[in-house]
Homo-oligomer: A and B are copies of this chain.
Amino acid sequence: MASMMFTDCSPSTTARLLPLGRSYGVLCLRRLVGPLHMGPLNPPSSFRILSVHSSSISSASPVVPTAAMATEASAKVIDGKSVAKQIRDEITAEVSRMKEAIGVTPGLAVILVGDRKDSATYVRNKKTACDSVGINSFEAHLPEDSSEGEVLKFISGFNDDPAVHGILVQLPLPSHMNEQKILNAVRIEKDVDGFHPLNIGRLAMRGREPLFVPCTPKGCIELLHRYGISIKGKSAVVIGRSNIVGMPAALLLQREDATVTVVHSRTKNPEEITRQADIIISAVGQPNMVRGSWIKPGAVIIDVGINPVEDAKSPRGYRLVGDVCYEEACKIASAVTPVPGGVGPMTIAMLLSNTLSSAKRTQNFK
């Protein structure tokens, strides 16, 4: 186990290290490493291995590493921000090619009900992301006290609008609305979130293909693919079994021939089970729950958690951490996603990807 000086994985204490946000992109040290079980990591072409940021480790490591040491004994940071940018660039090119070839621009409609600030921010971010790749965005912003019928009317309008290829209902909805009823009203051909049970059923079944794969789990698998991390035959543990991340992530890993175990709140020995995994996807929302002792040397870790924890040294009074104790993971895993900058940027990139796919399918454009 790492010394307390180096490790800061207590969820609610003052940070003793740099906020994780600042160590993003920095090569981690992996000193307790065993044999690597995964294939070589092939970062995407735009992936840059930064030199060791001495200020982020000098107070922590008993020996200031040389460049050679750092290269030999370090977990790769899986750079979601960089991969997401690469994917957005690819989408931009495809949107442009489609527009030139057949004059059609993909369109995403978002329905926002009420005045939650966080929801408004998410919707704005989606609009900005659409703009950046050339996808048209449509928005319906309804007041908090709207009726279900009014929301359904907008959904129906977007369902029938050929310029709209994807429809998102921003959650949560006001409590007087039946979320399931409203989500079910979105035509499956435009359900870019991929949450429709018909999509999930197709995802679960061999020989069937879902129209859309839910964005966050799709982003997790895309990160593995883009880093050349083999999934077939690997042992994978998914921590958490939510409808939007854990469950579909497990189905996706199984589709790629991993041997998958789903760990959840009723699991009696999560640490022991997780320690057997070659690939860990954690989506549980518990800051720093997965400690170094949960990780098999050489494992690959995809951390979906984005959890705010108190941090008196941060101007905002908090910082964001994942489900996985990043500092400890860096020393044991062969590759790990940081929080923020790991899975987060991938979700919105996958939403754009699903919208583009939908437009291509509608137009039968290859």
Q: Which residues of A contact B (CB under 8 A)?
A: 180, 196-208, 232-233, 235, 241-243, 247, 251, 254, 257, 259-264, 266-268, 273
Complex alpha-carbon distance, A101 and B208, angstroms: 42
Q: Is the CB of B266 within 8 A of A206?
A: no
- With A202-B201, A204-B204, A205-B247 already in contact, the answer to whether A259 and B267 are too (CB < 8 A) is yes
Complex alpha-carbon distance, A366 and B233, angstroms: 47
Give 26 CB contacts A-B under 8 Å. A180-B208, A197-B202, A197-B208, A198-B198, A198-B201, A199-B201, A200-B201, A200-B204, A201-B204, A204-B251, A205-B247, A206-B243, A207-B243, A232-B266, A233-B266, A233-B267, A241-B254, A257-B264, A259-B262, A259-B264, A259-B266, A259-B268, A259-B273, A260-B261, A260-B262, A261-B261
Residues of B within 8 Å of A203, CB to CB, are: 201, 204
Q: Is the CB of B204 within 8 A of A247?
A: yes
How near does chain B come to A290, taking the closest CB pair, in angstroms? 16
Complex alpha-carbon distance, A203 and B203, angstroms: 12
The 7 A-B residue pairs with the shortest CB-CB distance, nearest first, are A201-B201, A197-B201, A200-B201, A261-B261, A257-B266, A259-B267, A197-B202
Complex alpha-carbon distance, A243 and B251, angstroms: 13
Residues of B within 8 Å of A232, CB to CB, are: 266
Complex alpha-carbon distance, A232 and B233, angstroms: 28
How near does chain B come to A175, taking the closest CB pair, in angstroms? 16
